[in-house]
Structure 1
Amino acid sequence: MIIDPSLIDEVTIYSLLAVVGILIVSLLASRLLLSSSSSKVDHATFVWFTFDALIHFIFEGSFVYHSTFGRTVNTGTDMFALLWQEYTKADERWGFADATVVSIEIMTVFVDGLLCLLILRQLVKNDPSRHFWIVVISVIEIVGGWMTFAPEWLTGSVYLNTDVWLWHYVYLWFFNGLWVVIPFALIVHSYNAIIKGLRNNNSNNKKQSKKSK
């Protein structure tokens, strides 16, 4: 075989294609649901939170299911179990339902996922209050990433496998890094939007105060 089955097999390919498929759906949703007058930043934000919600509900939701109903990813045989078994090549904790990881993922599915839907609704309505919730969910996701990996770093990364480039740089660094870099950028953007709005409001209040005198 041209592709070494020990590194990239059918499950690997289907798993990566599933992620690409979710990204395509997110791009299409942005075009269909957002106004053409929406800014490029709003379109990019919509794509991210659609992608984020689908990942949380579909992928991570399946992990929570496998890890809380008397089974684990390692004992599953359905396509979602196989997908997560692919990821366990990089981080073994996901295979045997590590309590810390499962706890974080329960919050991710039921809190982050629902907040994503709220923000998408606010983007469609062009509701400026979305910036507050964007900061909230972005902080949660960054903290979630820290709590996922900090315990491993402190204990010598016993369950992390970094010998293979695909598992190390794509699964661990790239995919997890997305939920650090993008939330951080969103925090900066929404913080600036909130501060700008507050300053404009303060400026308008001062002008009205002067006119009333």
Structure 2
Amino acid sequence: MRRERCSQPVSLYEGAAGNISLTDWQMAKSPIRAAGVPHPYWPRDLSIPGYVANDRSMHEILSFLFSVSGLFLLSTWVLTGRKWARDGRGQEFGVARRLAICWFAVCGFIHGVIEGWFSLYYDIIPSDQSFLSQLWKEYSRGDSRYVISDNFTVCMETVTAWFWGPLSLWTVFAFLANKPCRFVLQLIVSLGQLYGAVLYFYTEHRDGYSHSQMGHPLYFWFYFVFLNILWIIIPLVLILDAWRHLQQAQTHTDLAQKEKTN
């Protein structure tokens, strides 16, 4: 006599809430398989419905990022070396000042374009195959919060894209045109960048660095640590620089006001 295959999953437990099947139990224990979508992100049990693997290589993505960033840096370096580009004393920009202006130009590109893309399309990035979406999926191997629409990450990146991006480019213009607001802009943008970067690291620290492969030379140390710690070190230096110049300006104003009243 032929044995009929059981069409219903085996029940492990029956209670007031109903039956819990063996299939349900296995799915609960393995969220990746439950979603039916394997992925390379951490933690390994992260569920990312609709995820589609990149068809662009890591080298293509990183080459684009660093090539365009380098183009912005080089173009700004050339502009700051032109004869008409002068500081507040009418002298040519020094190397440090030229590098600072180049930094803000690169920030304008990264904040406005790269992070701007994330702020607009964060909810479809896991399944989208646009180049910038693939860039974010590659970066997410160092921080998977970017493929799960993490609330803090979305809010932080949106503020960065729509405030610090345009203000970074305004800072470049202010220095090239020798505007009085140039160091005020430098201070505001750098403070915003520093605040965002500190919260970025601190929130992940409180999560136990669970969204990256801890200790991995590329994904953890390069993607997560190095690429982001730049927005702590450089803004700190620029904050101190802006502080010094604004303090000097205020001292000069106070002395001029004192002489005027005497």
TM-score band w.r.t. shorter chain: 0.7 to 0.9
What is the identity, as a one-letter code, of the residue corresponding to 2:217?
W
Alignment equivalent of 2:110, drawn from 51, 55, 78: 55
Relative distance call for 1:18 and 1:31 in structure 2 (3 A) is same
The letter of the residue matching 2:79 is L
Residue 91 in 1 paired to residue 137 in 2? Answer: no
1:105 Cα deviation (Å)?
0.8
Which residue of structure 2 aligns with residue 25 of structure 1?
A: 72
- Asked if structure 1 preserves the Cα contact closer than 8 Å seen for 2:125 and 2:136, the reply is yes
Equivalence for 1:107: 159
Query: 1:3 matched to which residue of 2?
Result: none
- Per-residue CA deviations over 1:157-192 (Å, capped at 9, x if unaligned) read 221222420112111111101111111100000100
Asked if the contact 2:156/2:196 (under 8 Å) is kept, the reply is: yes
Alignment partner of 1:182 out of 234, 238, 246: 234
After superposition, the C-alpha distances for 1:93-145 in whole angstroms (9 at most, x for unaligned) are 10121111011111011111111122112111112321112111111111111
Matches within 5 A, 1:1-213: 11-21=57-67, 22-32=69-79, 35=85, 37-67=92-122, 71-210=123-262
CA–CA distance in 1 between the matches of 2:173 and 2:120?
A: 27
CA distance in 1, matches of 2:93, 2:180: 13
Structure 1, unmatched stretches of 5+, are 1-5
How many residue pairs align between the two structures?
Answer: 200
Q: 1:12, 1:190 → 2: CA distance?
A: 37
For residues 66 and 142 of structure 2, the distance between their equivalents in structure 1, rounded to whole angstroms, comes to 20
Could you tell me which runs of 5 or more consecutive residues in structure 2 were left unpaired when the two chains were aligned: 1-39, 41-54, 87-91
The RMSD of aligned alpha carbons is 2.1
Q: Which has the larger radius of gyration?
A: 2
Task: Name 2:46's counterpart in structure 1.
Answer: none
What TM-score do you get using the length of structure 1 for normalisation?
0.85
Aligned AA (1:47): C
Asked if the contact 1:90–1:172 (Cα under 8 Å) also holds between the matched residues in 2, the reply is yes
Moved over 6 A (4+): none
**Which shows bigger deviation, 166-175 or 30-39?**
30-39
Task: Report deviation, 1:38.
Answer: 2.3
Counterpart contact for 1:11–1:82, Cα < 8 Å: no
Matching residue of 2:9:
none
User: Where does residue 32 of structure 2 map in the other structure?
Assistant: none
